[in-house]
Amino acid sequence: MAVYTHLSSEALADLIAHYDVGEVVSAKGIAEGVSNSNWLVETTGGTEGGTRFILTMYERRIDIAELPFFLGLLDHLSEHGAPVPRTIHDRSGAASRTIMGKAVALIEFLPGVSVDEPTAAQARSVGKVLAQMHALAQDFSGQRANDLGPDVSAAVLAECGADALAQIDPALPAVIAVAGDIASRWPTDLPQSVIHSDLFPDNVLMLGDKVSALIDFYFACNDAMAYDLAVTHAAWSFADHGRTYRPEVGQALLQGYESVRQLLPAERESLSLLAQGAALRFVSSRAQDWIDTPADALVTRKDPMDFVRRLDFYRENGAQVFGS
């Protein structure tokens, strides 16, 4: 379910008329995603090139004042050759417009599918593209702080409270103390770039083993590149809801990354802690969403325990997995 707003064909035609993409041929709501409404729009084509576009209506979570950062980043990365969709600008040059009181953007459609159980070859490709993206984003002028660091995750879990967390799962309240410990040891001097910070398999489109697109940059921010690699490792390298670590996938991801950008010793030494912080970030946002989302809501809640298992795994095995 990810079409929250009804968009009439007249309203859509009016909107599309502001862009040099031709006339609307069809528009279909896209089921995937939970944050925004998305439509696949086909047009007759115009000077912008292409006939397929993603229309995104920003529904929640995103601060509209930050849209220029996110959309500018897409343009910067795609202009420099990264597999990232560009933003289609309207005839006045604007990257976003407002319709029915909500911000919308028209984004280039890129082919590919997201994989459920990645192979080592696919993980290697993702590692490479992530490192290329970090290099290309170095000279992006936009700035956005990470508002989901370990201190914030620790505070969110404390605010949820042990009782509410225990109702989700009896093992969850113990993460409050672990979170404080991770936050107190968090490294602050690792090399930075603009990072994706949510590069789950559903945010990567692939054609076979090749990455055709990185999408959903709405958590992108300035932060440590090795943290982004740790997030990606946590998101890609486990099966069975975090119960099984897949070493061949985790290793391939790291090798792919380092085939483009070698980690500094300080980054490698920090990876275990960074991966714990990455797991913590998703435990905390999922726990908060779980408490805030009624059980009968249309949106399927994501289980924080999937990432508690990863957190436990990294605490026990992180040094060995990352060779630090």
**Interacting residue ranges for ligand ATP, rule: CB under 6 A:** 2, 30, 32-36, 38, 54, 85, 107-110, 202, 213, 215-216
Interacting partner of 43 out of ligand HSE, ligand ATP, none (Cβ under 5 to 8 A depending on kind):
none
**The two three-digit tokens of residue 288, written as one number:** 């908060």
Minimum CB distance to ligand HSE smaller for 19 or for 282: 282
Interacting partner of 285 out of ligand ATP, ligand HSE, none (Cβ under 5 to 8 A depending on kind):
ligand HSE
Query: Judging by beta carbons within 10 Å of its beta carbon (0-12, 13-18, 19+), is residue 33 exposed, middle or buried?
Result: middle
DSSP secondary structure letters along 158-189: HHH-HHHHHHH-TTSTTHHHHHHHHHHT----
Tell the smallest beta-carbon distance from residue 170 to ligand HSE (Å): 21
**Helix (H) / strand (E) containing 225:** helix 225-236
Minimum CB distance to ligand ATP smaller for 218 or for 313: 218
Minimum CB distance to ligand ATP smaller for 219 or for 314: 219
Residues 6+ apart with CB under 8 A from 204: 114, 115, 126, 211, 213, 214, 215
Minimum CB distance to ligand ATP smaller for 114 or for 119: 114
Tell the smallest beta-carbon distance from residue 103 to ligand ATP (Å): 13
Minimum CB distance to ligand HSE smaller for 192 or for 232: 232
Using DSSP, state whether 21 is helix, strand or coil: coil
CA distances for 181 relative to 75, 154, 276, 287, 324, angstroms: 38, 9, 11, 19, 19
Tell the smallest beta-carbon distance from residue 148 to ligand HSE (Å): 8
Interacting partner of 38 out of ligand ATP, ligand HSE, none (Cβ under 5 to 8 A depending on kind):
ligand ATP
Interacting partner of 109 out of ligand ATP, ligand HSE, none (Cβ under 5 to 8 A depending on kind):
ligand ATP
**The two three-digit tokens of residue 186, written as one number:** 């968090």
Minimum CB distance to ligand ATP smaller for 95 or for 213: 213
Tell the smallest beta-carbon distance from residue 205 to ligand HSE (Å): 15
Interacting partner of 5 out of ligand ATP, ligand HSE, none (Cβ under 5 to 8 A depending on kind):
none
Tell the smallest beta-carbon distance from residue 24 to ligand HSE (Å): 30
Contacts 24+ apart (CB under 8 A), 298-307: 298/1, 299/1, 299/34, 300/34, 303/241, 304/168, 304/169, 304/172, 305/168, 305/169, 305/171, 305/172, 305/241, 305/242, 306/241, 306/242, 306/282, 307/234, 307/242, 307/279, 307/280, 307/282, 307/283
Q: Which residues bind ligand HSE (CB under 6 A)?
A: 198, 200, 282, 285-286, 302
Minimum CB distance to ligand ATP smaller for 53 or for 227: 53
Interacting partner of 30 out of ligand ATP, ligand HSE, none (Cβ under 5 to 8 A depending on kind):
ligand ATP
